[in-house]
Amino acid sequence: MVQYVLLLNYKAGGIHSVREDPGVLRRLEESLIRWEAKILENFHLLGEYDQCLVIDAPDNFKAYRGVLEQELSATADTQILPAIDMDLFIDMAKRNFHIEGPHRWQISWWAKIARLAFRWQTTEQYVYKYCRPRTITGRHHFNSIRGPCIVVANHTSMADALLLQHALPQRIRFNIYSGAAADRWFVKRDDRKELVFKPWYQSLALGSFPIQRGGGSRTLEHSHWLLENGANLLIFPEGTRSTSRSMARFKHGVSILALEHDVPVVPCYLTGMNNVRRKGTSGMVEAPVSASFLPPIRFEAGLSVPDATHMIYERLNTVHKAVQERGVEAAVEASEAVG
């Protein structure tokens, strides 16, 4: 969770509504809670703005700003500002680094060809060495997809993307991109000499692009641009690795992108990767794994973002529960279903 400051400037009609029914303010709080935000402080202001709320919210909360503003538009104009602890900000300001990227050249033909050359180094050597035996099913679900799509999967290991990239049909994999933490993989610093930490390497060899922790107005900007230019996206909607027997609540970024661009979402259920590389370890061990692609999800026009997110979650969670009860065969059966 990240802290934000939400500033509201009431419109004339909004002020009248508040005077007529103070419960309007409570309904504002309900809107925020519906978007998974927790209100820490709530102030009435005597200045340019009328109200200030300090909230705890998911990392990509500001990405939902457009949808949230629709709910509040009749009442107030809003400003949503991510906040950072002052001591941490001072510490960051002292360091000699900056975030580099995203690099739009990564979708060019020459970058795609170069990415092919990097495949063995970046993914294939690890999949062939450690992901054994491996079961991959459901690739036929991509046959009906002609334009861009968003591939999503459950997330239990830092190595999940290795198997998922390997399992994708080549025409999808050739033009797919995924986000990575900007402050870890896209920091340009003089004291980091390793090739893997070079921002250009992440963009070129892995097809990654920077995602700012704590969201911000540019959280989904590059993802929107990629879809507009015919690229595919790979996203783990849990946002972080799950360490329990239950999948974590999905973030809404996938739904926002899929609804705005009218693209299908292809879920994939992964098993065994938490045994290949367990959380808290740096090494990998051999273990059986599987990747089961499920029928694409196509959203009807007018569907709300929370409802779309719920549909994606339920599709994967149904398989998750079945796998826990009956084993990997349940995921294989689900991948063979007709979309």
- CA-based torsion, 203, 208, 214, 219: positive or negative: positive
Separation CA 202–CA 99 (nearest Å): 13
pLDDT at 153 over 50: yes
The DSSP letter of residue 284 is -
Task: Determine the average pLDDT of the residues in 242-257.
Answer: 82
Provide the pLDDT for residue 217: 47
Separation CA 167–CA 163 (nearest Å): 6
Task: Determine the average pLDDT of the residues in 139-166.
Answer: 94
Q: Which long-range contacts (CB under 8 A, 24 or more apart) does 170-176 make?
A: 171/142, 172/142, 172/145, 172/232, 174/112, 174/115, 174/116, 175/107, 175/112, 175/230, 175/231, 175/232, 176/151, 176/207, 176/231, 176/232, 176/233, 176/234
**Helix, strand, coil proportions of the chain in percent (round to 5)?**
45, 20, 35
Provide the pLDDT for residue 62: 54
Provide the pLDDT for residue 324: 92
Mean pLDDT, all residues of the chain: 84
Nearest residue to 150 (alpha-carbon basis) of 270, 320, 312, 314: 312
Fold of the domain spanning 2-90: Alpha-Beta Plaits (3.30.70)
Nearest residue to 180 (alpha-carbon basis) of 164, 161, 152: 161
Provide the pLDDT for residue 36: 66
Three-class secondary structure of residue 149 per DSSP: coil
Element (H, E) at 10: strand 2-10
Provide the pLDDT for residue 30: 72
pLDDT in tens, 103-129: 999 999 999 999 999 999 999 999 999
Q: How far apart are the first and last CA of the chain?
A: 36
Separation CA 226–CA 185 (nearest Å): 19
Give Cβ neighbours of residue 134 (< 8 Å, ≥ 6 apart). 127, 163, 288, 289, 290, 291
Provide the pLDDT for residue 66: 56
Query: Which range is most confident: 185-199, 269-283, 303-317?
Result: 303-317
Considering only the top CATH level, what class is 97-335?
Answer: alpha beta
Domain ranges of the chain: 2-90, 97-335
Provide the pLDDT for residue 53: 85
Provide the pLDDT for residue 246: 78
Task: Determine the average pLDDT of the residues in 147-161.
Answer: 93
pLDDT band at 71 (very low <50, low <70, confident <90, very high): low
pLDDT at 96 over 60: no
pLDDT in tens, 256-287: 999 999 999 999 999 999 999 877 677 899 99
Task: Determine the average pLDDT of the residues in 234-252.
Answer: 79
pLDDT band at 219 (very low <50, low <70, confident <90, very high): confident
pLDDT at 196 over 60: yes
pLDDT band at 288 (very low <50, low <70, confident <90, very high): very high
pLDDT in tens, 35-55: 667 788 888 888 888 888 888
Look-up of token digits 């820490």 = 40
- CA-based torsion, 33, 35, 36, 39: positive or negative: negative
CB 231 within 8 A of CB 148: yes
Provide the pLDDT for residue 325: 93
Q: How much of the chain exceeds pLDDT 90, in percent?
A: 50
Separation CA 75–CA 81 (nearest Å): 19
C-alpha radius of gyration, the chain, whole number: 22
Task: Determine the average pLDDT of the residues in 185-193.
Answer: 69
Q: Which residues pair with 54 in a beta bridge?
A: 5, 41
